[in-house]
């Protein structure tokens, strides 16, 4: 019983810290590219507004990157603190991408320091180009982290020897490159990288959409909307293709995950696609079936079989309802983002042909963009829920179960509570600080925000 | 020298760099705390922002470097360390979160009151985090972490050597940061602040020296293995530390800030090297050797390649960063003089 409580507390703590960090990591990965475009435009066109916008984004990024860096550090702690058996058994299998990610993190942190403090200190061209290593290391860091996660879904690069006397796994023939370049790597990496650009892009555009809804429709807001939106919209349009390719892999690599996503109780050819619905006693209730579409989408052929949960022992099945709900939430949010992207893209294209038309006119496109900002985070979290819960009960699919990896240290709920409290406070404070920055920028018109250290006179 | 020794040396480079760069970072937060509401406090806080603002994130990546090299190179030892020392690691983790967030939030706080709130969070967590890191080091060094990770969740890290480690970590961080901040303030042209910090650093340095010498007693009582090795092959490093420390006190008194910074760093580095030498060939004193803890050979070769990769990417970048922050126009003021 104690062990079970520990496992749940550890899983919630991991889910919470990951779910928090992943939003910030999107900014760390994708925001620098958006800053680069705006900064470059400012230098090229001698556009004061664009330069100021890039400078403000750099300052906001300093806050977001700091929270991202510390919440990322916590995750590296938790890999060991919560899942010591995973690390002590497979540390030398999955460790190398983490070590490479550490190097990427170094380069990123160094150039962030140089870029943030380089304003008006470095030659303008050199300063602009210090963003490039940040962008590159963001992509490489994503590659490394996703290599580990993909490995957990499609383990490779090792053999299992006869188990030790205490029943624990014995790993032999470790091939770290085989572990990195596992079967799920490229699909998961590209899927997440594009997601980073969508989240950072739509959320940033949403901030300026709110500003325009409040009547601030100047060049500053239009630029702050358009550049991130363009990144996100391109991402939204290619993401369904990448996601589909990633899903194709599941039938062979992780059939139990696919069965849960499709809410499929029994293996079935010409399987329907269930919209909504819950699985109760192997029966789908309250769902809308679309005939044949399940087989067609997940297996590329109506006569192909979608795996069913009944193929797996009860103790090896993921919680299908959670996975199915999360999966369809992601899909629905993704479709909505495609539609919003196309809508604004059409308005923008029309405005280019006809200068009299304004792509920002009206309120609905702005409201839709705010919705896209929210939906991007919903899709991100739902997607992660799908892949992580869908892998259950395994931490390394088919090899090691979560209950065999979890720490033997007791009272994990204490650290869970501590993380909940600290992360909630940090979220509130970060929001307050960012809003305060925006308010001071509006009031002063000056990019600089001096820190008020001077102690006020006591009255 | 075996491949395992090479990996251990690469891991130890990380420990050493974290003690120096991370240490100066933590120590700056401790100075922030010590300044309270004194007249010098606002100038000191601006100086701290300028001194560690551009470098703090990079400095803390050393901890991540240490963790990933530890779990990749020595997976079994890592599992034992994080299981037995769960509690102090949790404090370290929370301290790092609060510290980084508090520091970044304070920089852009809108009012004195909110700046003070974030400042208190930043400063107290800067004190707590190195203390628990020192306790972790003490627990490992004194042989209280069994190889199977079954050590007590409490008494494993509350032994005499852990207290020595915690107190020494806080003192060395404060000493290092004082030497760095004095030199930075001097370079920025604030002689008064440099002298103010310098005088207090002198006191901190003297206390650190006394505590380091007195630490022999509890270590002797607590761990025979560690005490023997410190007095044997670790002795040279400890003597070097004492000499560098004494030199830095003299240089601080003479207000030779740049050289005081160098000798202070040498003094701290020598203590850490002394511990590292005394730890060898164990990863966990008395219970697990580096050789026993080592993971797969193919992965260790991968780590060497990773290290070489870092040497041609991260290291030059880091040198450039340090050159930049030591330039005079980076030392002064808040993004001065618009160039465009």
Report the pLDDT value the prediction gives residue B227, as an integer from 0 to 100. 87
Is B110 close to A452, i.e. CB distance below 8 A? yes
DSSP E strands, chain B: 282-284, 288-289
Burial of B220 (0-12, 13-18, 19+ CB in 10 A): middle
Q: Provide, as residue numbers in chain B, all residues whose Cβ is less than 8 Å from the Cβ of A65.
A: 57
Q: Average the pLDDT over A342-368 and give the result.
A: 89
Question: Taking 60 as the threshold, does the pLDDT of residue B337 lie above it?
Answer: no
State pLDDT tens for residues A60-79: 999 999 999 999 988 888 88
Q: How far is CA A274 from the centre of its chain?
A: 26
State pLDDT tens for residues A28-53: 999 999 999 999 999 999 999 999 99
β-bridge pairing A273-275 and A159-160: unpaired
Report the pLDDT value the prediction gives residue A458, as an integer from 0 to 100. 59
Q: pLDDT band at residue B263, thresholds of 50, 70 and 90? A: very high
Is B54 close to A81, i.e. CB distance below 8 A? no
Question: Taking 80 as the threshold, does the pLDDT of residue A265 lie above it?
Answer: yes
Of A7-16, A139-148, A350-359, A365-374, give the lowest mean pLDDT range. Answer: A350-359
State pLDDT tens for residues A385-418: 999 999 999 999 999 999 888 888 777 888 899 9
Question: To the nearest whole number, what is the mean pLDDT of chain B?
Answer: 90
Q: Phi then psi for B299, rounded to 5 degrees?
A: -70, -35
The ipTM assigned to this model is 0.90
Q: Which residue of B has its CA nearest to A115?
A: B54
C-alpha distances in angstroms, B234 versus A332, B11, B166, B212, B237?
A: 64, 18, 20, 14, 6
Q: Average the pLDDT over B124-129 and give the result.
A: 95
Report the pLDDT value the prediction gives residue A91, as an integer from 0 to 100. 85
Give the residue carrying structure tokens 């950072």: A200
Question: Taking 80 as the threshold, does the pLDDT of residue A457 lie above it?
Answer: no
Burial of B178 (0-12, 13-18, 19+ CB in 10 A): buried
3-state secondary structure of A79: helix
Report the pLDDT value the prediction gives residue B335, as an integer from 0 to 100. 54
Of B76, B93, B105, the CB nearest to A429: B105
Give dist(CA A57, CA A369) in Å, integer: 19
Q: Average the pLDDT over B29-47 and give the result.
A: 90
Which of residues 54 through 73 in chain B touch A, CB cutoff 8 A?
54-58, 60-61, 63-65, 67-69, 71-73
Give dist(CA A18, CA B267) in Å, integer: 39
Give dist(CA A289, CA B260) in Å, integer: 76
Give dist(CA A121, CA A116) in Å, integer: 10
Question: To the nearest whole number, what is the mean pLDDT of chain A?
Answer: 90
Report the pLDDT value the prediction gives residue B334, as an integer from 0 to 100. 57
Report the pLDDT value the prediction gives residue A27, as an integer from 0 to 100. 95
State pLDDT tens for residues B89-113: 999 999 999 999 999 999 998 888 8
Report the pLDDT value the prediction gives residue A272, as an integer from 0 to 100. 84
Query: CA gyration radius for chain B?
Result: 20
Q: Which residue of A has its CA nearest to B118?
A: A429
Is A69 close to B76, i.e. CB distance below 8 A? no
Report the pLDDT value the prediction gives residue A24, as an integer from 0 to 100. 94
Question: Taking 90 as the threshold, does the pLDDT of residue A240 lie above it?
Answer: yes
Question: Taking 60 as the threshold, does the pLDDT of residue B338 lie above it?
Answer: no
Question: Taking 60 as the threshold, does the pLDDT of residue B168 lie above it?
Answer: yes
Question: Taking 50 as the threshold, does the pLDDT of residue B186 lie above it?
Answer: yes
Share of chain A above pLDDT 90, in %: 59
Mutation to test the A interface, candidates B64, B112, B155, B339, most A Cβ within 10 Å: B64
Question: Taking 90 as the threshold, does the pLDDT of residue A241 lie above it?
Answer: yes
**DSSP state, residue A123:** -
Give dist(CA A400, CA B111) in Å, integer: 51
Handedness of CA B143, B148, B152, B153 (dihedral sign): positive
Q: Phi then psi for A400, rounded to 5 degrees?
A: -135, 130
Of B90, B110, B318, the CB nearest to A415: B90
Q: pLDDT band at residue B340, thresholds of 50, 70 and 90? A: very low
Is any Cβ of chain B less than 8 angstroms from the Cβ of A410? yes
Residues contacting A125, CB < 8 A, separation 6+: A43
In contact, A128 and A164? CB cutoff 8 Å? no
Mutation to test the B interface, candidates A102, A160, A170, A171, most B Cβ within 10 Å: A102
Closest by CA to B314, choosing from A23, A239, A103, A89, is A103
DSSP E strands, A187-314: 268-269, 273-275, 278-280, 283-285, 288-290, 305-306
Report the pLDDT value the prediction gives residue B154, as an integer from 0 to 100. 85
Is A451 close to B107, i.e. CB distance below 8 A? yes
3-state secondary structure of A159: strand
Q: Average the pLDDT over B26-34 and give the result.
A: 94
**What's the gap in Å between the CA of A134 and the closest CA on chain B?**
12
Q: Provide, as residue numbers in chain A, all residues whose Cβ is less than 8 Å from the Cβ of B54.
A: 113-114, 116-117
Q: What share of chain A is helix, strand, coil (3-state, %, to 5)?
A: 70, 5, 25
In contact, A98 and A144? CB cutoff 8 Å? yes
State the number of CA atoms in the 13 A half-sphere of A430 facing the CB: 24
Q: pLDDT band at residue A304, thresholds of 50, 70 and 90? A: confident
Report the pLDDT value the prediction gives residue B36, as an integer from 0 to 100. 86
Give dist(CA A81, CA A98) in Å, integer: 16
Give dist(CA A30, CA A38) in Å, integer: 13
Closest by CA to A116, choosing from B316, B99, B183, B321, is B321
């Amino acid at each position: 019983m104690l062990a079970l409580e520990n496992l749940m507390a550890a899983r919630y703590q991991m889910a919470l810290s990951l779910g928090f960090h992943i939003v910030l990591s999107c900014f760390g990965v994708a925001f620098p590219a958006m800053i680069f475009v705006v900064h470059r435009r400012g230098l090229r066109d001698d556009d004061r507004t664009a330069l100021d916008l890039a400078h403000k984004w750099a300052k906001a990024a300093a806050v977001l990157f700091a929270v991202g860096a510390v919440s990322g550090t916590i995750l590296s702690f938790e890999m060991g603190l919560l899942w010591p058996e995973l690390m002590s058994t497979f540390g030398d299998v999955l460790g190398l991408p983490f070590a490479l990610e550490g190097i990427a993190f170094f380069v990123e942190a160094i150039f962030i320091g140089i870029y943030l403090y380089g304003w008006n200190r470095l030659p303008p061209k050199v300063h602009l180009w210090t963003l490039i290593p940040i962008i590159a290391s963001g992509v490489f860091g994503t590659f490394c982290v996703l290599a580990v996660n993909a490995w957990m879904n499609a383990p490779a690069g090792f053999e299992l020897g006869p188990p030790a006397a205490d029943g624990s796994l014995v790993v032999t023939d470790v091939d770290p490159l085989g572990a990195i370049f596992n079967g799920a790597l490229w699909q998961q990496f590209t899927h997440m990288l594009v997601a980073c650009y969508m989240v950072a892009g739509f959320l940033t555009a949403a901030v300026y959409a709110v500003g325009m809804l409040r009547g601030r429709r100047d060049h500053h807001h239009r630029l702050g909307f358009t550049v991130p939106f363009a990144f996100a919209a391109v991402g939204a349009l290619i993401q369904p293709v990448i996601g589909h390719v990633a899903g194709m892999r599941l039938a062979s690599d992780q059939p139990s995950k696919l069965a849960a996503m499709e809410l499929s109780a029994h293996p079935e050819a010409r399987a329907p696609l269930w919209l909504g619905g819950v699985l109760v006693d192997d029966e789908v209730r309250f769902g809308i079936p679309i005939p044949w579409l399940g087989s067609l989408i997940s297996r590329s052929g109506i006569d192909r079989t979608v795996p069913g949960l009944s193929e797996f022992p009860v103790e090896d099945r993921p919680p299908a309802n959670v996975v199915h709900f999360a999966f369809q939430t992601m899909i629905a949010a993704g479709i909505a983002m495609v539609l919003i992207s196309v809508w604004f893209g059409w308005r923008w294209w029309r405005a280019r042909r006809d200068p009299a038309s304004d792509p920002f006119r009206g309120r609905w496109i702005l409201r839709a963009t705010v919705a896209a900002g929210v939906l991007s985070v919903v899709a991100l979290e739902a997607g992660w829920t799908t892949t992580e819960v869908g892998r259950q009960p395994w931490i390394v699919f088919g090899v090691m179960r979560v209950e065999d990896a979890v720490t033997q240290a007791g009272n994990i709920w204490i650290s869970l509570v501590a993380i909940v409290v600290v992360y909630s406070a940090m979220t509130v404070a970060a929001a307050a600080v960012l809003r305060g920055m925006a308010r001071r920028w509006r009031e002063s018109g000056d990019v600089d925000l001096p820190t008020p250290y001077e102690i006020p006179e006591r009255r | 020298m075996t491949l395992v020794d090479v990996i251990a040396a690469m891991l130890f480079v990380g420990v050493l760099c974290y003690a120096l760069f991370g240490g100066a970072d933590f120590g700056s937060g401790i100075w922030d705390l010590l300044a309270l509401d004194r007249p010098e406090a606002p100038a000191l806080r601006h100086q701290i922002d300028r001194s560690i603002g551009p470098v703090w994130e990079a400095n803390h990546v050393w901890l991540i470097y240490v963790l990933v090299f530890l779990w990749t190179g020595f997976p079994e030892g890592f599992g034992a360390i994080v299981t037995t020392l769960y509690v102090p690691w949790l404090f370290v983790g929370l301290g790092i979160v609060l510290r980084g967030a508090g520091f970044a939030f304070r920089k852009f706080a809108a009012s004195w009151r909110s700046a003070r709130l974030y400042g208190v969070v930043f400063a107290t967590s800067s004190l707590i985090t190195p203390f628990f890191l020192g306790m972790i080091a003490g627990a490992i060094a004194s042989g209280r972490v069994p190889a199977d990770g079954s050590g007590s969740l409490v008494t494993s890290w509350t032994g005499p050597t852990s207290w020595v480690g915690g107190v020494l970590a806080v003192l060395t961080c404060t000493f290092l940061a004082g030497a760095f901040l004095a030199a930075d303030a001097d370079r920025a042209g604030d002689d008064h602040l440099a002298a103010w910090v310098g005088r207090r650093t002198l006191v901190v340095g003297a206390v650190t020296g006394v505590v380091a010498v007195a630490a022999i007693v509890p270590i002797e009582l607590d761990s025979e293995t560690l005490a023997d090795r410190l007095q044997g092959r670790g002795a040279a490093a400890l003597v070097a530390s004492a000499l560098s420390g004494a030199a830095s006190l003299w240089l601080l008194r003479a207000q030779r800030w740049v050289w005081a910074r160098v000798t202070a760093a040498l003094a701290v580095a020598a203590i850490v090297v002394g511990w590292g030498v005394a730890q060898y060939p164990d990863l966990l004193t008395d219970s697990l050797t580096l050789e026993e803890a080592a993971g797969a050979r193919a992965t260790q070769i991968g780590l060497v390649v990773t290290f070489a990769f870092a040497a041609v990417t991260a290291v030059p970048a880091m040198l450039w960063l340090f050159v930049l922050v030591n330039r005079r126009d980076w030392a002064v003021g808040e993004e001065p003089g618009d160039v465009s």
